[in-house]
C-alpha cells in the first residue's frame, strides 16, 4: 500500500511565519473543525492505519475574492501534521498559486503544505462560491460511496497528483455540484472530500453522509431493507 502524506508536486515554498493578521480568525475556525474531524476519526495518525502516516487535511479560502483560477489562495494544514495533538497557526500554511499542468504549488508558512494541496486547488477552481475543503479518511463512507450516490474519482488517479486534480474537474463536468458536495477518491483508500461555501456547511454535509452510511451498515448487519 502506498504510504500517505508523500508530497508529489513541485513546491516553491517560502518558510516564514504567518502573521496573526489576517489569518488568526480563519485559523481558529479551521482548527476547531480539525478537532471535530480528529474526534470522528477522519483525521489524525494511528500506527495501525496507513503505515503509521498522518492522514486527513483541511483548508479554507483567504482573499482576495473571487480570485483567478490557479490563484484562489487558501489556508491549509501542513503536511504530516495530522498526528499533532495541539495545533496552531504555525501548523498551517498559505497556498498562493497552483497549477496541475505543471504539477506545481507556491506556498508560504512555517510548515510545508499538505500533500493534497493540488486537489484542494482543483476543488476551489470549480467555483468562487467554494470556501472550504475537508479531506478525511472515512472507511464507512468510502466503501459505500456508490450506495450513497457519491461521485468518485477513478482508481487510476492517485492522491496528491495532477491526475487527481484533473479527475476533480471531470466530476464537475459530469454533473457534480460546484457549490456543496462530497466525493470519494477511488484511488485513495478511505479518502473522501467534502466542500462547500463554509466550514459549517461542508462539515454538516460530511456528518450527515456519515449518518446515512451508518444506517446502511446497520441495515447490512441486520438485513433490513431501507426505502
Helix/strand/coil (H/E/C) assignment for every residue in 117-130: HHHHHHHHCCCCCC
What CATH code is assigned to 10-222?
A: 3.40.225.10
Q: Supply φ then ψ for residue 179, to 5 degrees.
A: -115, -55
pLDDT one-digit tens code per residue, 19-53: 999 999 999 999 999 999 999 999 998 888 877 77
Q: How far apart are CA 135 and CA 37, in angstroms?
A: 10
Question: Which cell numbers hold the place of 137?
Answer: 479518511
Q: Residue 168 — φ and ψ, nearest 5°?
A: -60, -45
Predicted local distance difference test score (pLDDT) of residue 179: 87
Tell me the C-alpha distance between 136 and 192, whole Å. Answer: 5
What is the C-alpha to C-alpha distance for residues 41 and 30, in angstroms, rounded to an integer? 17
Would you say residue 223 has pLDDT above 80? no
pLDDT digits (tens, 9 = 90+) for 158-204: 988 999 999 999 999 999 999 889 999 999 999 999 999 999 999 99
Give the whole-angstrom CA distance, residue 125 versus residue 161: 16
This prediction's pTM: 0.93
Contacts of 210 (CB under 8 A, 6+ apart): 40, 138, 140, 141
CA-to-CA dists, residue 108 to 113, 119, 142, 193, 215, angstroms:
8, 18, 32, 24, 42
Q: What pLDDT sits at residue 219? A: 86
Lowest mean pLDDT segment, chosen from 11-25, 58-72, 82-96, 145-159: 82-96
Q: Decide if pLDDT at 83 tops 90.
A: no
In the predicted structure, residue 1 carries a pLDDT above the cut 60? no
Region 87-109: what's the mean pLDDT? 95
Alpha-carbon distance of 198 to 206, in angstroms, equals: 12
- Judge whether residue 134 has pLDDT over 50: yes
- pLDDT reported for residue 227: 55
d(CA 126, CA 108): 23
Domain-by-domain residue ranges, the chain? 10-222
Amino acid at each position: 500500500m502506498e504510504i500517505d502524506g508523500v508530497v508529489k508536486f513541485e513546491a516553491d515554498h517560502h518558510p516564514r511565519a504567518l502573521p496573526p493578521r489576517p489569518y488568526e480568525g480563519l485559523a481558529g475556525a479551521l482548527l476547531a473543525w480539525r478537532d471535530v474531524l480528529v474526534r470522528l476519526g477522519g483525521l489524525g495518525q494511528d500506527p495501525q492505519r496507513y503505515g503509521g502516516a498522518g492522514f486527513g487535511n483541511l483548508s479554507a479560502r483567504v482573499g482576495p475574492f473571487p480570485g483567478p483560477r490557479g490563484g484562489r489562495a487558501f489556508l491549509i494544514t501542513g503536511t504530516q501534521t495530522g498526528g499533532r495533538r495541539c495545533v496552531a497557526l504555525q501548523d498551517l500554511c498559505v497556498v498562493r498559486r497552483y497549477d496541475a499542468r505543471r504539477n506545481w504549488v507556491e506556498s508560504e508558512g512555517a510548515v510545508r503544505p499538505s500533500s493534497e494541496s493540488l486537489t484542494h486547488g482543483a476543488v476551489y477552481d470549480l467555483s468562487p462560491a467554494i470556501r472550504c475543503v475537508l479531506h478525511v479518511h472515512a472507511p464507512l463512507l468510502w466503501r459505500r460511496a456508490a450506495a450513497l450516490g457519491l461521485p468518485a474519482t477513478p482508481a487510476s488517479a492517485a492522491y496528491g497528483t495532477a491526475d487527481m486534480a484533473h479527475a476533480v474537474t471531470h466530476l464537475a463536468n459530469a454533473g457534480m455540484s460546484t457549490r456543496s458536495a462530497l466525493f470519494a477518491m477511488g484511488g485513495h483508500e478511505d479518502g473522501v472530500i467534502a466542500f462547500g461555501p463554509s466550514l459549517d456547511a461542508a462539515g454538516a454535509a460530511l456528518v450527515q453522509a456519515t449518518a446515512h452510511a451508518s444506517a446502511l451498515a446497520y441495515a447490512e448487519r441486520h438485513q433490513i431493507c431501507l426505502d
